[in-house]
Homo-oligomer: A and B are copies of this chain.
């Protein structure tokens, strides 16, 4: 067992770093490939990550930082000396650079920017002002652009001559700009090669589709859907070319967002956590969510406290309260999931809350009837009291209706009011269904108390 574990890449990296074997570490990391190297680094704690990263070449370190989840990357860069950090940050692609700088404390970001070339630093500052999930935040600065008067043959020669520096550039399309930097057209490099060498770009380009920096990830996704282009240029209000958004970056950003959403829906507040983070950080973030939930739970449970006499008289009800609470949570959760999915697909909009409400009611009626009958049946088998069956079965039926209609419409309503449905849907749903569930069971029981005792 220890032997197998010894071969784990993260352990090997650490050994090489501890032995100050720079050459060995570089070779080993190169042999792992970026994916495996990223996984190895994520398994290390912050201190060890720092040790390994600073021993790698800035380019290798930048490759790894680019593929680490945003928040871990920010923690890691913040822990480095600004000079060392700047060396690595400089090697990153412009959009990744901007994301990273945006995630840092502003002091740390400034310290790093001060270590960079003024021009690079200005570019980075400009990009960092955009949110991660709009065109401005997703675009890269590494693209090909040429003046409209440039001659096809010269452009091609220029590309061949600078092939190496352009390695990280997006090279499918060449964007054509006026002398003021306005986007005037585009030509696929593939087509450029087939064009007459003596013509100016103005004569071979086609008009370019473009987008604005504030355009959202959804809109970009819709834009690329059904179009075969693989990148779209971003222009400012004056028509000046700012950068290029690549289709594959949009897809990656969408996938990452789904993952973060999944985490937030389950109470990981920032949308990200891995176990290599410091225990105290993990504890604090999880607790922030749990403490809201326990307060909501106490509020819901206070309904039970109000009916403590009824409960004392029919103690069997205490067995059914957690079941009704939990089952209503389950049925409501299904409806939440479908609404989140429909929001993501763009087939439900906040204004559809009423339609969703009705659609859910019909499913809830059938499932509530099935579950209520089952639970009522169990109550009857246990206690042989048909009124007890009616109380618990009827309550579950009604509460299922409440759960699905609330679960279905709450994410849409939250979205309308600008609240994150991933984070808030569950606590709202379960608090309402708990309150209603407890109230239904106990108030029905209070009404029929003579038949139940």
Listed in ascending order, the chain A residues whose CB lies under 8 Å from chain B are 33-39, 42-43, 63, 67, 69, 160, 171, 189-190, 193-194, 221-223, 225-227, 230, 247-248, 251-252, 254-255, 258-259, 261-263, 265-268, 272-276, 279-280, 282-283, 286-287, 289-291, 293-294, 297-298, 300-302, 304-305, 308, 311-312, 315-316, 318-323, 325-327, 329-331, 333-334, 336-338, 340-342, 344-348, 355-356, 359-360, 362-363, 366-367, 370-371, 374-375, 378, 382, 430, 434, 438
A280 nearest CB neighbor, chain B only: B366
A252: which of B251, B300, B337 is its contact (CB, 8 Å)?
B251
A295 nearest CB neighbor, chain B only: B374
Beta-carbon contact of B316 and A297 below 8 Å: no
Identical chains bound together, number: 2
Beta-carbon contact of A346 and B35 below 8 Å: yes
Beta-carbon contact of B226 and A63 below 8 Å: yes
Beta-carbon contact of A298 and B34 below 8 Å: no
Beta-carbon contact of A327 and B248 below 8 Å: no
Other contacts beyond A248-B251, A312-B312, A322-B434: 18, CB < 8 A: A35-B223, A35-B226, A189-B190, A255-B258, A258-B258, A258-B259, A261-B262, A262-B340, A267-B330, A272-B341, A274-B345, A280-B366, A283-B367, A289-B334, A290-B367, A302-B319, A311-B318, A325-B326
Beta-carbon contact of A326 and B297 below 8 Å: yes
Task: Kindly state the separation between the CA atoms of A71 and B326 in the bound complex, as whole angstroms.
Answer: 29
Task: Kindly state the separation between the CA atoms of A294 and B368 in the bound complex, as whole angstroms.
Answer: 12
**B residues less than 8 Å from A366 (CB atoms):** 279-280, 283, 287
A321: which of B189, B322, B348 is its contact (CB, 8 Å)?
B322
Contact flag A266-B334 (CB < 8 Å), given A39-B347, A190-B190, A374-B291: yes
A268 nearest CB neighbor, chain B only: B337
A370: which of B261, B287, B305, B434 is its contact (CB, 8 Å)?
B287
Task: Kindly state the separation between the CA atoms of A222 and B221 in the bound complex, as whole angstroms.
Answer: 23
**B residues less than 8 Å from A323 (CB atoms):** 294, 297-298, 301
Sort A-B residue pairs by CB-CB distance and give the 4 closest, nearest first. A34-B226, A266-B337, A255-B255, A35-B225
A370 nearest CB neighbor, chain B only: B287
**B residues less than 8 Å from A337 (CB atoms):** 262-263, 265-268, 273
A-B contact pairs, 18 of them (CB 8 A): A35-B221, A35-B223, A35-B346, A37-B226, A251-B255, A275-B348, A275-B356, A275-B359, A291-B370, A294-B375, A297-B327, A304-B318, A304-B322, A305-B316, A308-B319, A315-B315, A326-B326, A326-B434
A226: which of B67, B226, B286, B311 is its contact (CB, 8 Å)?
B67
**B residues less than 8 Å from A315 (CB atoms):** 308, 311-312, 315, 318
Task: Kindly state the separation between the CA atoms of A284 and B230 in the bound complex, as whole angstroms.
Answer: 41
> How near does chain B come to A315, taking the closest CB pair, in angstroms?
5
A327: which of B226, B294, B342 is its contact (CB, 8 Å)?
B294
A347: which of B34, B272, B274, B311 is its contact (CB, 8 Å)?
B274
Task: Kindly state the separation between the CA atoms of A301 and B320 in the bound complex, as whole angstroms.
Answer: 7
A330: which of B36, B227, B290, B318 is its contact (CB, 8 Å)?
B290
Task: Kindly state the separation between the CA atoms of A338 and B274 in the bound complex, as whole angstroms.
Answer: 6
Beta-carbon contact of B193 and A286 below 8 Å: no
Beta-carbon contact of B34 and A225 below 8 Å: yes
Task: Kindly state the separation between the CA atoms of A63 and B34 in the bound complex, as whole angstroms.
Answer: 35
> How near does chain B come to A34, taking the closest CB pair, in angstroms?
3
> How near does chain B come to A10, taking the closest CB pair, in angstroms?
9
Most buried by B among A63, A327, A356: A327
Beta-carbon contact of B322 and A301 below 8 Å: yes
Beta-carbon contact of A298 and B35 below 8 Å: no
Task: Kindly state the separation between the CA atoms of A434 and B214 in the bound complex, as whole angstroms.
Answer: 47
